[in-house]
Structure 1
Amino acid sequence: MNNQLLAPDGVTSLREEVARQNMVFRGAGAGFGGQLMDWNPQLQSVDAALLPVLPRAQARADDVIRNNGIAANAIQLHQDHIIGSEYRLSYKPNWHLLGIKPDSGFVRDVEAVFRDIAEDPNCYIDAERKRTFTMMMRESVAMHASSGDVMAKPEMFNDVHSPFSTCIRLVSPKCVTNPNHKMSTEYLKGGIELNRRGQEIAIHIEQGGHQFGVGRKWRRVNKRLANGRIGFIHVFEPTEAGQTRGVNKFLSSLEQLKMLDTLQNTTLQQAIVAAMYAASIESELGTEEAMEFLAGTSRGGSNIAPLDKMLAGYGDYYAKPENNIKLGGVKVPHLLPNDKFNIRTPGNMGAGFADLEKSILRYVAAGTGLDYAQLSKNYSQMSYSTIRASMNDSHRYFMGGRKIIANPFANQIFELLFEEMLIRKYVTLPKGARYSFQQRRHAWTRCDWIGSGRMAIDGLKEVKEAVLLIESGLSTYEEEAAKLGKDYQELFAQQVREVDERKKSGLPPPSYMKTEQFSPAEQGQTDG
């Protein structure tokens, strides 16, 4: 008798199967028992996998964002946590490279001029005159999350009401396509024209017709003009070499989002049907009677349909006082022969729905880089520690999005406006610099941006943490104020003004000015 253990195929010995699997990476093998035998995906680059289905992917993402509350909340979270209510410039020229000492007056002038045009309610910074700079940044973050790309075209036109000619026109990534929708080639992919090094040199924008099917035209826009000025802004986060278009945040979980909609709608319909009917009466019919009802004819030649006759008979019978059916009155009715009285209850119709919904939402949250509690708006059964851990994790993700997507887009807009500031003499470069603006554009326009602050779970604990970090030399007022979405320079300036006003009004100084010379321990040592 052979007691040898066999592999799942029933033929190969278990020992041989394990030895064979250990000879290769198991993920690339057939799997234990051949479970992975039919899993043979094609080896493709991101462009090869994405570009052929890009229009469909964008259309599906747009549809789910418009019609799914979870997807809409994911976009809103990106806007609120990466940008916030105002995206503020923190100008930091590379003084060391430029070979001059820091000039705080020059920095304040640049920030003041930029903020004036950026947040002007007349929206002069926007070519369509619809958006302030902050609104433009919020839309760009939403654009990146929903389509994978941020695109904009700088323009210049004179407006007697605007102090600047430079303005920005946001471009929908759906409009950037190959001319006449030709197949992608080595030097033209997804509307992006490349040189032999793989660098973007021009963008092809489809105008007036990509949506309505009328008069299609394409405009070719150079990525950078001959004088070095930016001609088109395209920001995305590539995941491999040679990639030309970005992947939107929803593609990895788009199927689950759509199925979640179907699941919720089906469950809701079942609940509505169950609530509409509290009870029903079932009746048995013979074959001939059933066929008569289906055909709608009567053997006696009567013009009255059999179904009408039956319903009339039911009505006459149950209309009698002695046969009156009461569901809430606990009366037991006397039914017609072969009739059954059924009480309709929801039962366990929704059993498991909540757990399945949570599982899908966690999957979607992981795919979009968000925290489950934030995405679902469900903070139940969470302690301070778990909320703080999840918020810190999502804050790290949002800060990455700010650094990789929002800041590069904002930096290029600032570079365009800074150049016009110099031309119009709004500001003058400090003397003695080693390089001119044209020679070192980035050195003169290097900056950081202050957006939404980190969410405070326990304000008192986090303020104490910030104070200890500053006092121990592990952080600065600039860093801690930025976590709150504030500019430390404006904060200090406002404190000085408040102290002066309190002195003039005869009020004591603010509590943060009342510092003791010695701590209690030091006082004890001095007294001793």
Structure 2
Amino acid sequence: MKAPDITFVDTAGRPIPKADTGYTGAGAGFGGQMRRWNPRPQTADAALLPSLRAGNARAEDLVRNHGLASNGVQLHVDNVVGHLFRLSYKPRWRMLGISEADARAFSNDVEAAFTEYAEDPINCWVDAERKRTLTMMVREVVATHSTVGEATGTAEWIEGRPGALFNTAIKLVNTHRICNPNNKADSQTLRGGVEVDRFGAARRYWVRGTATNGYGLSNGLGDSWTAVDRETSWGRQQFLHVFEPRGDGQTRGANQFLSVMEQLPQLGKLQQTKLQNAIVNAMYAAVIESELGSEAAMEIIGGGIEHKALTNYMATLADWHEGADIRLNGVKIPHLMPGEQLKFTTSSNADNGFSELETSIIRWIAAGLNVPYEALAKDYSRTTYSSARASMMEGWRYYMGRRKIIASRWASMVFALWLEEALDSGIIRLPRTATRTFWEAKASWCNAEWIGSGRLAIDGLKEVKESILLIESGLSTYEKELAKMGEDYQEIFAQQVREMAERRDAGLPPPSWVKALALAPDQEEPEVAPATA
């Protein structure tokens, strides 16, 4: 026999709801508003790969056609890379058995040779298409990653290029071309165009060919696929793929626009609607209202009578208004027909809370793209020095993470490919005292830092003082502080030596940084930024 259900009631006879146990976020929520929110637990690939094409296509469309989306990508490019992405080569000399002095001399030779190859603005040997320098390539990689969450390319070996000392070149690959051959379904070993081993490590990439016919009508993709191994049998990298995985077994990158994909198009529609409303309201300064009865109006507009009656009626009104030429100080005042009324209109372009709504949406978008609101919206009207610096520093920390994980990693892979060829061809030679070869300690020989754009200085005087105090107190170095400004300390020091020698030869006194600092007193920070017109 089934046991009867037992219901507990309060003093008024109302059923007492069962109390949620554990975390309230996993319960029904206040008032039960979370009962219908039951997302499925999924792996990273299960959540991403089925909607990868649609999500990336939408993100690219937003970047092409939406100002905020385009600016969000440009902020990544300018802050992560900047105008020059320069190599700061740092071989791990202790692990390689060479002295620090030998490492510095070797570093100078390698930096000079690599910069000549990578930043050649005329020949662009580093690019298989010969359109980009390394800096241009890394800027494109960061822009692509900011849009679709990943960047891909192949390492090519191109012989017979007149004037080229090296055969290594990089071919950037559109991420849409990385897909399963013949669009077959994903499997345990083939997911999103990537063949993986039992641990989830990429072994091979399937690259779809391109089709030049039908541009404007097709997607530009062909019907053939080429398999590209991740690396050769001796370990030389053949396919470059950078993204930041966020889950176990994730095969492809997820773009940042997915979290704000709904808000961005709606914001554009909201702005366009508001603009159209303002234009329409501004077009009419006055209207004439008529007290014409509804029955008469229906008859005039065609309620059983020919439309010619409406034309005759409007012509009569026009003749009446034209004949009543009454003016006041040169301004014509119409003499209206009986039952008519002149009504002046205003533009009605009141804000009605639009600015606050727009700001709220843009802040949401800035949070989703991990960029400062002020920079994304180009709005500094309500910003003080402290709040602007806090916002920019928060953004700077994020950009430095992106520089290390995306831009520097891509550049380091290109550098490793070049260094291998340079050593193999004899153009660069390892120090004689080295105890480990390139292949025995590839990571140590290819260790490098990359200097990109400098940190934005909101108040240059205060931030220079901060750098001086950090150096003088032993909490930082000239190398780190100048890297924040996007400069190489060795180049700065060498230039200072040359300038001081020239000043001495010209009979000028040496520069005094202490006196310069004394001439720049502290400035009080305004509590509120001045209002803008």
TM-score normalised over the length of structure 2: 0.89
Q: Shift of the alpha carbon at 1:48?
A: 1.2
Q: How many angstroms apart in 1 are the aligned matches of 2:320 and 2:515?
A: 92
Q: Shift of the alpha carbon at 1:350?
A: 3.0
Structure 1 residues 478 and 273, CA, compared in 2 at 3 Å: closer, same or farther? same
Q: Shift of the alpha carbon at 1:46?
A: 2.1
Q: Secondary structure at the match of 2:371?
A: coil
How do residues 290-309 of structure 1 correspond to structure 2 at under 5 angstroms?
290-295=297-302, 298=305, 305-309=308-312
- Alignment match of 2:77 (pick from 79, 83, 89): 79
Contact 2:208-2:221 within 8 A present in 1 as well: no
How do residues 395-414 of structure 1 correspond to structure 2 at under 5 angstroms?
395-414=396-415
Equivalent position amino acid for 1:49 in 2: A
Partner of 2:287: 280
Contact 1:499-1:509 within 8 A present in 2 as well: yes
Partner of 2:58: 60
Structure 1 residues 111 and 5, CA, compared in 2 at 3 Å: closer, same or farther? farther
Structure 1 residues 328 and 101, CA, compared in 2 at 3 Å: closer, same or farther? farther
Structure 1 residues 208 and 5, CA, compared in 2 at 3 Å: closer, same or farther? farther
Unaligned runs of 5+ in 2: 1-8, 213-217, 517-533
Q: How many angstroms apart in 1 are the aligned matches of 2:329 and 2:50?
A: 61
Deviations 1:256-294 (A, max 9, x none): 111000000000000000011112223355555444555
Partner of 2:274: 267
Contact 1:318-1:325 within 8 A present in 2 as well: no
Contact 1:296-1:305 within 8 A present in 2 as well: no
Partner of 2:527: none
Q: How many angstroms apart in 2 are the aligned matches of 1:65 and 1:215?
A: 25
Equivalent position amino acid for 1:26 in 2: T
Q: Shift of the alpha carbon at 1:335?
A: 3.0
How do residues 356-505 of structure 1 correspond to structure 2 at under 5 angstroms?
356-505=357-506
Q: Shift of the alpha carbon at 1:244?
A: 0.7
Structure 1 residues 183 and 295, CA, compared in 2 at 3 Å: closer, same or farther? farther
Partner of 2:35: 37
Q: How many angstroms apart in 1 are the aligned matches of 2:167 and 2:314?
A: 79
1:320 is the counterpart of 2:323? yes
Contact 2:374-2:380 within 8 A present in 1 as well: yes
Q: How many angstroms apart in 2 are the aligned matches of 1:131 and 1:328?
A: 66
1:231 is the counterpart of 2:233? no
Contact 1:297-1:306 within 8 A present in 2 as well: no
Q: Secondary structure at the match of 1:151?
A: strand
Q: How many angstroms apart in 2 are the aligned matches of 1:422 and 1:327?
A: 91
Contact 2:155-2:237 within 8 A present in 1 as well: yes
Equivalent position amino acid for 1:341 in 2: L
Q: How many angstroms apart in 2 are the aligned matches of 1:370 and 1:325?
A: 59
- Alignment match of 1:171 (pick from 170, 173, 178): 173
Contact 2:81-2:139 within 8 A present in 1 as well: yes
Contact 2:290-2:339 within 8 A present in 1 as well: yes
Q: How many angstroms apart in 1 are the aligned matches of 2:500 and 2:273?
A: 63
Q: Shift of the alpha carbon at 1:318?
A: 1.3
Q: Secondary structure at the match of 2:32?
A: coil
Q: Shift of the alpha carbon at 1:41?
A: 1.5
370-379 or 273-282, which deviates more: 273-282
Q: Shift of the alpha carbon at 1:342?
A: 2.7
Unaligned runs of 5+ in 1: 516-528
Partner of 1:162: 164
Deviations 1:144-170 (A, max 9, x none): 000100111110112012221111111
> How many residues align structurally?
499
Contact 1:177-1:192 within 8 A present in 2 as well: yes
Deviations 1:338-385 (A, max 9, x none): 434332223365311100110000000000000100111111121111
Structure 1 residues 273 and 513, CA, compared in 2 at 3 Å: closer, same or farther? closer
Structure 1 residues 512 and 388, CA, compared in 2 at 3 Å: closer, same or farther? same
State the Cα RMSD in Å: 2.4
Equivalent position amino acid for 2:168 in 1: T
Q: How many angstroms apart in 2 are the aligned matches of 1:327 and 1:50?
A: 71
Structure 1 residues 243 and 319, CA, compared in 2 at 3 Å: closer, same or farther? same
94-103 or 476-485, which deviates more: 94-103
Q: How many angstroms apart in 2 are the aligned matches of 1:376 and 1:288?
A: 54
Q: Secondary structure at the match of 1:452?
A: coil
Contact 1:281-1:340 within 8 A present in 2 as well: yes
Q: Shift of the alpha carbon at 1:425?
A: 1.6
Structure 1 residues 494 and 68, CA, compared in 2 at 3 Å: closer, same or farther? same
Q: Shift of the alpha carbon at 1:513?
A: 9.5
Q: How many angstroms apart in 2 are the aligned matches of 1:292 and 1:330?
A: 32
33-42 or 336-345, which deviates more: 336-345
Equivalent position amino acid for 1:152 in 2: G
Q: How many angstroms apart in 1 are the aligned matches of 2:343 and 2:57?
A: 47
Q: Secondary structure at the match of 1:233?
A: strand
Deviations 1:279-315 (A, max 9, x none): 222335555544455548746xxxx712211111111
Q: Shift of the alpha carbon at 1:502?
A: 2.2
Equivalent position amino acid for 1:185 in 2: S
Q: Secondary structure at the match of 1:219?
A: strand
Percent identity between the two aligned chains: 48
